[in-house]
Amino acid sequence: MLIVMSNSASQEDVNSVIATIEAHGWQAKPIPGGERMAIGILRNIGPVDPAIFLGMPGVRDAIPVSKPYKLVSREMKKENTRIPLGDGSVVIGGDKLILAAGPCAVESERQALEIACAVKRAGAVLFRAGAFKPRTSPYAFQGLGEKGLQILAKVRQETGLFIVSEATDHEVCDLVEEYADIIQIGTRNMQNYRLLKRAGQAKKPVLLKRGMSATIDEFFMAAEYILSEGNDQVILCERGIRTFATHSRNTLDLNAVPYIQKESHLPVFIDPSHAAGRRDQVIPLARAGAAVGAAGLLIEVHSCPEKAMSDGPQSLLPADFERLVAELRYMNFKI
Amino acid sequence: MLIVMSNSASQEDVNSVIATIEAHGWQAKPIPGGERMAIGILRNIGPVDPAIFLGMPGVRDAIPVSKPYKLVSREMKKENTRIPLGDGSVVIGGDKLILAAGPCAVESERQALEIACAVKRAGAVLFRAGAFKPRTSPYAFQGLGEKGLQILAKVRQETGLFIVSEATDHEVCDLVEEYADIIQIGTRNMQNYRLLKRAGQAKKPVLLKRGMSATIDEFFMAAEYILSEGNDQVILCERGIRTFATHSRNTLDLNAVPYIQKESHLPVFIDPSHAAGRRDQVIPLARAGAAVGAAGLLIEVHSCPEKAMSDGPQSLLPADFERLVAELRYMNFKI
Amino acid sequence: MLIVMSNSASQEDVNSVIATIEAHGWQAKPIPGGERMAIGILRNIGPVDPAIFLGMPGVRDAIPVSKPYKLVSREMKKENTRIPLGDGSVVIGGDKLILAAGPCAVESERQALEIACAVKRAGAVLFRAGAFKPRTSPYAFQGLGEKGLQILAKVRQETGLFIVSEATDHEVCDLVEEYADIIQIGTRNMQNYRLLKRAGQAKKPVLLKRGMSATIDEFFMAAEYILSEGNDQVILCERGIRTFATHSRNTLDLNAVPYIQKESHLPVFIDPSHAAGRRDQVIPLARAGAAVGAAGLLIEVHSCPEKAMSDGPQSLLPADFERLVAELRYMNFKI
Amino acid sequence: MLIVMSNSASQEDVNSVIATIEAHGWQAKPIPGGERMAIGILRNIGPVDPAIFLGMPGVRDAIPVSKPYKLVSREMKKENTRIPLGDGSVVIGGDKLILAAGPCAVESERQALEIACAVKRAGAVLFRAGAFKPRTSPYAFQGLGEKGLQILAKVRQETGLFIVSEATDHEVCDLVEEYADIIQIGTRNMQNYRLLKRAGQAKKPVLLKRGMSATIDEFFMAAEYILSEGNDQVILCERGIRTFATHSRNTLDLNAVPYIQKESHLPVFIDPSHAAGRRDQVIPLARAGAAVGAAGLLIEVHSCPEKAMSDGPQSLLPADFERLVAELRYMNFKI
């Protein structure tokens, strides 16, 4: 934190800022400049709230300098995090573009297996499907619960696909950890701290989705919660942010990918399905997500989207997904 | 939902849309226009996802017409909801401007009582303070828990102030319901459906804060969750939305107040403290919140903000709060 | 600007940053910290682009410290700017709340005079109406041009109201300066630098509207263009920003008012009509704008809104305006 | 426009809406529904402002149904617009990915030729460089003016590259039309209607950049201004929108590309340089822009970015640009 004094600040104002810094147990470092004094804050653990100083007399600005996160930072760990699954034949953050595909929700064994076989054939290595669904309407389908997870375990057994499924709260997390290979934390839960802590104690990797209006710093802090509990197998997933634009459900923020890769060692996935919210934008955005350099793509595929119990309209048909994979191969991505 | 066909749509395209509507169990109503055909959807229960139709051949647009919420709507209930507290001497949504004030977190009995006495003297009728705190950093003060609630009960007993305190998840909600007069649901939990349902079963009023990037429709749908479980004592609270602006922590959306009042019968509060995030904007925004017509204000007050364990920098001093109340009285608000 | 080095930056990286700073003619000030080196930039004239440094090896961040504006800053001038009109009986930035009211566009002498008399009677001291209109559609009414300005001059003569009217480009500015008392620069032209310079050379005050997605720093820089040409009679006008919210045309950013008042000596107006875009939100937002501490309000009033040639739907009727003024008086604003 | 009545609207309310519609010369079409009446508006020319109806008694909502633009719409013209340059060897909107590269501003003949030769060698067919520059600061380099355009003409002559350069107002447009092959209209001028009209009368293609907070409908309406004057050679350029995100200057909105391609016949370019604002994001975003299906890329390249007179920090070095083109070729784009 750098406290910038007004050019008319008195020595008393400066002393008062220094006293406040020291009262918090931090160290104050005055930096005289051409026109005005600035005061650096050192030895703080965790972020300093600028508002502490913004109201003080003679203070013009309070500017965060250091980043609030540590463990997710590339400063802490230079090499990219690689997350091997199973026997290590699939590595997230490795050379290959990871394709995770499947329906929004598990609806039945038959549905799950049919879609799983199709996406596996096309090139997917992960099967994504929800057994517990957070829904906007109280009357909407809420997922099959544990039965859904059992179906997913069967999908893994029959197809060899690894399973990623969402934990909607800390209690559900116990079940998801038991059955799935990767625990997903959804957009609405990015700041559900109790769930984040629970996921940090899990023995399975975690796929953490960015909140709809989260800054990257906030996204990193949510991941920090997981890492600080001891689980460093975290995948970050960009899935679109809320903006003024109305031509899509959200705006996919691809600028975030090179930024995350610069700041952090964690792998990044892209979810074009939720960013678009409508099928006709999914394939172009999936190609863009691969091209920007994401480690993987999370794509909704349903063999009968018009009968899907949730999010059908943004799901690709298996044939669309095949076409997408063909296009990605044509663009020379290793799948 | 209104499906607008392209001017080059074939009869087959139209039939296919009608068939899809009917396959969902809804009724299709073709509306021929000058240049193009539109098709209305009737008899749907709950919202229809536009994306179902956006990908179909010949479809140009799919436009939601009816609102997804029912119980919160003024169409359902014409008169304003009034929420009496205790013996009815305080009525939320009545003639008086309700002032809820207090520290971000309960820190000790002494601190709570000192602040409570000060804000009561100035004109507050509600004491707001958290016993359970959702925090961005895992190392930050997480609240006193049940002990904090016991202190709050004591504050009520000693001062006569009614208590509003946050429930951070469905389990915590049991405790808050027991001790407090109003259960608060925070911004990050606006779409925590399990908590919303639990609050809907409570026998106490609920103060629901708007999510940082929630539309008013989403805000209403969250309230609908509570009402649909049988609890119609809901207060909506606008607390600032996330925008590109950086001169404040959030942007207080006062346009929302007349809109909510038009669409819904529920009372609206304004929280200028969280919208500002810095003390020097709180008093002006509090005045504006009263002037726009809010039923109440939620204001952070701390007798020693620089030592507050959370959100100190946006807290008013008791003397500032007194000045605010004097200004509101000068503006002829009934307090 | 503060350049924050990575904790793994080499001495060579640091030297290279220093060399780059010096190559621009600025002065580098190394600031060793606990974990990492930071380097301050001094003696720069005008803003430094952070991106110059963001790509360099060993650089973690580049953080603007000083503000890019000078003349609009309260550091430059402590006292509030007061702008007297005519013989000084009306002072913008003085003790009274200034009411500027009138139709979106001058349509005829009769229309203008009728509305002017009504708003004058109610308490307005400024008449706002456009003679040159920027319109989204090429087929829409584009204003009466110079004839409109002549009508406005007549309105002043007959009613004693001062006139504010928009200059849509540097050529139109010549005419507006001749006829009006205050030159308005519209939202879409906030960064029309040629127009800003021309307004800076005018002998009349300028009312500058904030761009729809302008930060306050950008808003100040636009005002700086005017002041730097010698015209320090500038009024800043907040009129709503673009956000994700859809319940109003724009979101009125009232947080901006105390921020502007802290940072700058220039008076601030609020335009609730354009922020709302619909009549039913104008009066509540106007009250809020007064309550937050604005120096004046800019309000669209039309005696026959349903026949207005532009922006009728957001115009108040003269009787609504009268009611608003009564409410403001009840709230003890001096008008 | 569809007017949705409240379920408690009286017959009188309905009649009053119908009368208002007819008073505007439009046709009203009542559409009785299950719970409520809706009223369609037919035969309107140009968009209808919802706010006309939003304040009327018994009106619940007013929903735009038809799109405000005509000429840019794919309904008006099914086939993609193709824009041949010169002898037709280069076609924008054809099979090849068009690369437009060059410095932000022309600084000297030597600089321009050096960069032009480098980008031509790498695969660019268009040279982009500004002779007239809109600048945030009054003290910044404002461009070489006509001399800059003469240098650009020389670049074309020596290298065979076609020239795209910005017209900052209607007067400058005369010069740019004379010297350049494509007239660029910048972000800040997207709603400069006088300039749009002038560009609509030009005999050269126009590259129109999206405003920083423009919806796609507004973007289309700006293009409509150009087409309605007779010039149908328009290229739309997405260059990033303003959002809450701070890790990049703007957020590149790639969702817009498939949407524009569905709604309009006009070709779309992507400008990753301005979206990023920092060099390290430009190459990944350029790859993403190609992959999403853009017709072309607009990329800033400078042989000595640290000495560039504007926007140096977001410019690629010629060697970076070469690497980008190699990557694009590896991804099998035809260049």
DSSP string spanning A107-133? Answer: --HHHHHHHHHHHHHHT--EEE-BSS-
Higher pLDDT, D64 or C290: C290
Nearest to B251 by CA among B300, B210, B308: B210
Query: Which residues 93-132 on chain C approach chain B with CB closer than 8 angstroms?
Result: none
pLDDT, position A25:
84
What is the nearest CA distance from A245 to chain D, expressed in angstroms?
A: 6
CB-CB neighbors (< 8 A) of D216 in chain C: none
Q: Do A255 and D276 touch (CB under 8 A)?
A: yes
**Percent of chain A at pLDDT above 70?**
95
Residue C115 has pLDDT above 80, yes or no: yes
CB-CB neighbors (< 8 A) of D52 in chain C: 306, 312-313
Do residues D100 and D128 lie in contact, with contact meaning Cβ atoms separated by under 8 Å?
Answer: yes
Residue C42 has pLDDT above 90, yes or no: no
Residue B97 has pLDDT above 90, yes or no: yes
User: By CA distance, what is B329's nearest residue in C?
Assistant: C331
pLDDT, position D127:
98
d(CA D161, CA D153): 10
pLDDT, position C75:
85
Residue C305 has pLDDT above 90, yes or no: no
What is the nearest CA distance from C21 to chain A, expressed in angstroms?
A: 16
* Mean local confidence (pLDDT), C113-129: 97
User: By CA distance, what is D284's nearest residue in A?
Assistant: A292
Q: Do D65 and B38 touch (CB under 8 A)?
A: yes
Query: Which residues 38-67 on chain D approach chain C with CB closer than 8 angstroms?
Result: 45-47, 49-55
Do residues A124 and A330 lie in contact, with contact meaning Cβ atoms separated by under 8 Å?
Answer: no
Nearest to A209 by CA among A283, A256, A269: A269
* Mean local confidence (pLDDT), D218-247: 95
D276 touches chain B (CB under 8 A): no
* Mean local confidence (pLDDT), D247-272: 96
Tell me how far CA of residue B296 lies from CA of A264, A271, B96, B268, in angstroms. Answer: 44, 41, 8, 7
What is the DSSP secondary-structure string of B219-288? HHHHHHHHHHTT---EEEEE--B--S--SSSSB--TTHHHHHHHHBSS-EEE-HHHHH-SGGGHHHHHHH
A76 touches chain C (CB under 8 A): no
d(CA D197, CA D194): 5
CB-CB neighbors (< 8 A) of D192 in chain C: 188-189, 192
pLDDT, position C183:
98
d(CA B317, CA A107): 55
CB-CB neighbors (< 8 A) of D306 in chain C: 20, 23, 52
Tell me how far CA of residue B317 lies from CA of A16, A173, B274, D64, D326, in angstroms. Answer: 18, 42, 15, 49, 62
Higher pLDDT, C85 or C4: C85
pLDDT, position C80:
97
Distance, C-alpha A272 to centroid of its chain: 13
pLDDT, position C67:
80
- Looking only at the bridges linking them, the beta strands covering A182-185 and B83-85 are unpaired
CB-CB neighbors (< 8 A) of B31 in chain D: 29, 31, 40
Residue D161 has pLDDT above 80, yes or no: yes
Residue C300 has pLDDT above 90, yes or no: yes
Average pLDDT, chain B: 91
Residue D139 has pLDDT above 80, yes or no: no
pLDDT, position A293:
98
**Which of C188, C190, C221, C227 best probes binding to D when mutated, by most D CB atoms within 10 angstroms?**
C188
Average pLDDT, chain A: 91
CB-CB neighbors (< 8 A) of C242 in chain A: 244
pLDDT, position D136:
66
Residue D250 has pLDDT above 80, yes or no: yes
Residue B229 has pLDDT above 80, yes or no: yes
d(CA B109, CA D63): 54
**Which of B247, B264, B278, B282 best probes binding to C when mutated, by most C CB atoms within 10 angstroms?**
B247
Residue D212 has pLDDT above 90, yes or no: yes
Higher pLDDT, A2 or D197: D197
Q: Give me the residues paired with residue A164 across strands.
A: A128, A182
Name which of B134, B249, B280 is nearest A55 (Cβ-Cβ). Answer: B280
What is the nearest CA distance from D130 to chain B, expressed in angstroms?
A: 28
Nearest to B46 by CA among D63, A137, D36, D34: A137
CB-CB neighbors (< 8 A) of D292 in chain A: 284-285, 287-288, 291
Residue D203 has pLDDT above 90, yes or no: yes
Tell me how far CA of residue C246 lies from CA of A74, A243, C225, D100, D201, in angstroms. Answer: 39, 11, 33, 37, 36
Tokens for C44, please give them: 């720069």
Name which of A65, A242, A246 is nearest C63 (Cβ-Cβ). Answer: A65
Query: Which residues 241-260 on chain C approach chain D with CB closer than 8 angstroms?
Result: 242, 249
* Mean local confidence (pLDDT), B266-275: 96
What is the nearest CA distance from B104 to chain D, expressed in angstroms?
A: 26
| pLDDT tier at C70, thresholds 50, 70, 90 | confident
Q: Do C288 and B284 touch (CB under 8 A)?
A: no
A221 touches chain B (CB under 8 A): yes
Q: How far apart are the first and last CA of chain B?
A: 44
DSSP class of C188: G
Q: Give me the residues paired with residue A105 across strands.
A: A130
Q: Do D75 and B6 touch (CB under 8 A)?
A: yes
* Mean local confidence (pLDDT), D32-44: 80
* Mean local confidence (pLDDT), D276-284: 91
d(CA D71, CA D223): 9
- Other beta carbons less than 10 A from residue D22's beta carbon: 12
Q: Do B280 and A54 touch (CB under 8 A)?
A: yes
Residue A306 has pLDDT above 70, yes or no: no
Residue A232 has pLDDT above 80, yes or no: yes
Torsion of CA B209, B212, B217, B219, to 10 degrees: -20
* Mean local confidence (pLDDT), D38-50: 79
**Percent of chain A at pLDDT above 90?**
67
A247-297 pLDDT, tens digit per residue, is 999 999 999 999 999 999 999 999 999 999 888 899 999 999 999 999 999
| pLDDT tier at C227, thresholds 50, 70, 90 | very high
d(CA D74, CA D67): 12
Do residues A210 and A238 lie in contact, with contact meaning Cβ atoms separated by under 8 Å?
Answer: yes
Higher pLDDT, B35 or D71: D71
pLDDT, position B64:
78
Residue B125 has pLDDT above 90, yes or no: yes
* Mean local confidence (pLDDT), B260-278: 94
B58-70 pLDDT, tens digit per residue, is 888 888 777 878 8
Determine whether B118 is exposed, middle or buried from the number of CB atoms within 10 Å of its CB (0-12, 13-18, 19+).
buried
Residue B313 has pLDDT above 90, yes or no: no
- Other beta carbons less than 10 A from residue C171's beta carbon: 16
Lowest mean pLDDT of C119-123, C308-312, D175-179, name the range. Answer: C308-312
Lowest mean pLDDT of B20-34, C171-185, D5-19, name the range. Answer: B20-34
Determine whether D79 is exposed, middle or buried from the number of CB atoms within 10 Å of its CB (0-12, 13-18, 19+).
exposed
pLDDT, position A143:
85
Q: Which chains touch A (3 or more CB pairs under 8 A)?
A: B, C, D
Do residues D13 and D56 lie in contact, with contact meaning Cβ atoms separated by under 8 Å?
Answer: yes
Do residues B97 and B328 lie in contact, with contact meaning Cβ atoms separated by under 8 Å?
Answer: yes
* Mean local confidence (pLDDT), B66-95: 91
pLDDT, position B307:
67
Lowest mean pLDDT of A225-229, A319-323, B310-314, C300-304, name the range. Answer: B310-314
**Which of A66, A217, A246 best probes binding to C when mutated, by most C CB atoms within 10 angstroms?**
A66
Q: Do B281 and C246 touch (CB under 8 A)?
A: no
Residue B137 has pLDDT above 70, yes or no: no
Q: Do B51 and A221 touch (CB under 8 A)?
A: no
Torsion of CA A181, A186, A192, A195, to 10 degrees: -10
| pLDDT tier at B140, thresholds 50, 70, 90 | low
pLDDT, position B312:
66
**Which of B242, B250, B310 best probes binding to A when mutated, by most A CB atoms within 10 angstroms?**
B242
ipTM: 0.90
pLDDT, position C139:
62
B43-59 pLDDT, tens digit per residue, is 776 678 887 888 788 88
d(CA A101, CA A6): 55
What does residue D58 show for φ and ψ, rounded to 5 degrees?
85, -5
Tokens for D138, please give them: 């009054």
Residue B130 has pLDDT above 90, yes or no: yes
D303-322 pLDDT, tens digit per residue, is 877 666 666 677 899 999 99
Tell me how far CA of residue A140 lies from CA of B46, C91, D241, in angstroms. Answer: 9, 60, 34
d(CA C299, CA C100): 6
**Percent of chain D at pLDDT above 90?**
67
Q: How far apart are the first and last CA of chain C?
A: 44
Residue C66 has pLDDT above 90, yes or no: no
Nearest to C187 by CA among C163, C158, C219, C161: C219
pLDDT, position B136:
65
Tokens for A77, please give them: 């760990």
Question: Which residues have CB under 8 Å from C41's CB, separation 6+?
Answer: C1, C2, C3, C21, C26, C27, C28, C29, C48
pLDDT, position A61:
83
- Give the type of residue at D256: A
Q: Do C242 and A242 touch (CB under 8 A)?
A: no
CB-CB neighbors (< 8 A) of B168 in chain A: 194
* Mean local confidence (pLDDT), B200-212: 97
pLDDT, position D119:
97
* Mean local confidence (pLDDT), C31-35: 76
DSSP class of D305: G
**Which of B97, B255, B323 best probes binding to C when mutated, by most C CB atoms within 10 angstroms?**
B255
